[in-house]
Amino acid sequence: MYRDCYAAWMASQSPSATAAVVDGRAPRMRHAISTTEDSVAARVGMVGAGQLARMSLAPATALGIDLHLLAEADSDSAAQIARRVTIGDHRRPDDLLAFAKGVDVVTFDHELVAPEHLEALAAEGHVLRPAPASKRFAQDKRHQRERLGALGLPLPAFATVAAATEVEHFAEANGWPVVVKAARGGYDGRGVWVMDSSAEVAARWPECTAAGALLVEAFVTIERELAVLVARRPGGQAAVYLITETVQADGICHELLVPARVTPGRAAEATELGLRIAEIVDVAGVMAVELFETTDGLVINELACRPHNSGHWTIEGAATSQFANHLRAVLDWPLGSTALMADAAVTVNVLGPPDGVDPRDRLPAALALDGVSVHLYGKAARPGRKLGHVTVLGDDLADALSRARHAAALLTGEATS
């Protein structure tokens, strides 16, 4: 089937077919090496060329998948190293359509493509995995909370809000602090405002409304943050990874600990919740569900329909990485084992250090440590920006954590030896 598609695609690759000119600007295709029909197992198009796309390239290569990327610029993390890159804009329907025409299935490394553009691609007959209706759960926190709440799943108390007074009314009923969130487009804590008082709401309201549609939710006293990572094929076959404990600071994920330090009962509950949500969302591909563990049980925070930071440990730590399983899932191929490859796996994110130095300059020091896997994303170093991660496997979680932290500190310059 893919070969047939490929032949049809080859036939369509006249210059006029590849360059949809809009406003005098055409998406630019960069094919460093021509691919012969025989060497292609399948063509997956990934919209976005950030670090998630970058980490998808190795498993795509291993499986003989021709991974095409729609990148914004040659300098994007994955565009630097991929051989099939289209430079275009995911906000432009024509760029998306021209890109989709060259692949068998379209998937994503972010949540940013407008729902109407996703629907338009699907209406043209392109295969989107996840489908637009699934993607909407991850793109729109209001939709997600309304749909999951209606099914009785555990969520913080929430309300949609359009005025500062509505936030105050919500706080009167639920108590301070409250958390105001942008319904769309937030990441790494951007688009999340914890508010302690009416005065704070009034002062920060312009900043909130600039982010578009909003919701407010009760502030949850969190014992621990967890993530469930599920890979699911279009027909419903699913594979779930061991529950990941995530450690956040200032809204940014810093560390992943596997297995999470929770009771077996709690882990089973989280696993069941993740699988149930994957069914409800009808996801194809990898989905991550972020959960809060509280003294009263689990509460759903949010979900992502794509490989996710909480699954980076799976590259070395699981028999099949989240990136490999995402590709398998979107192609409706059998999923790989999610088994943990050691007793413990820890990932520590490498954030840009305050001195602005690129962690690449400090790489040898980290590589000198035994058993440390370093991933750098090729992104320009800026303080606080996620530039890479390190993973350590071991027979003891605390030991793996201390070694991974040490390696990350060597990369950021916080440690020198």
Which residues contact ligand ADP by CB under 6 A? 156, 179, 181, 186-192, 217, 219-220, 222, 225, 248, 251, 290, 301-302
H helices of 112-191, in order, are 115-123, 132-139, 141-150, 164-174
DSSP summary character for residue 371: T
DSSP summary character for residue 58: H
- As a whole number of Å, the end-to-end CA separation of the chain is 54
DSSP summary character for residue 311: G
B/e letters for 381-411, b = 16+ CB within 10 Å, e = fewer, are beeeebbbbbbbbbeebeebbebbbbbbbbb
* Minimum distance from residue 209 beta carbon to ligand ADP (Å): 18
How crowded is residue 232: how many other Cβ atoms within 10 Å of its Cβ?
Answer: 28
Between residues 187 and 333, which has the closer beta carbon with respect to ligand ADP? 187
* Minimum distance from residue 355 beta carbon to ligand ADP (Å): 26
- Both tokens of 164, joined, read 């500062």
* Minimum distance from residue 190 beta carbon to ligand ADP (Å): 6
Between residues 113 and 374, which has the closer beta carbon with respect to ligand ADP? 113
Position closest to ligand ADP via CB: 220
* Minimum distance from residue 102 beta carbon to ligand ADP (Å): 31
Which run of H or E residues covers position 242? none
- Both tokens of 297, joined, read 């049980």
Question: β-strands 84-87, 178-182: how paired?
Answer: unpaired
* Minimum distance from residue 147 beta carbon to ligand ADP (Å): 16
Q: Which amino acid is at 212?
A: G
- In the three-class reduction of DSSP (H, G, I as helix; E, B as strand; rest coil), residue 196 is classed as coil
Between residues 207 and 361, which has the closer beta carbon with respect to ligand ADP? 207
Between residues 101 and 184, which has the closer beta carbon with respect to ligand ADP? 184
Between residues 248 and 271, which has the closer beta carbon with respect to ligand ADP? 248
* Minimum distance from residue 178 beta carbon to ligand ADP (Å): 8
* Minimum distance from residue 369 beta carbon to ligand ADP (Å): 29
* Minimum distance from residue 171 beta carbon to ligand ADP (Å): 13
- Both tokens of 348, joined, read 């520590």
Contact 255, 346 (CB under 8 A): yes
Between residues 93 and 191, which has the closer beta carbon with respect to ligand ADP? 191
Contact 44, 60 (CB under 8 A): yes
Between residues 166 and 302, which has the closer beta carbon with respect to ligand ADP? 302
Between residues 172 and 343, which has the closer beta carbon with respect to ligand ADP? 172
Rounded CA gap, 316 and 347, in Å? 10
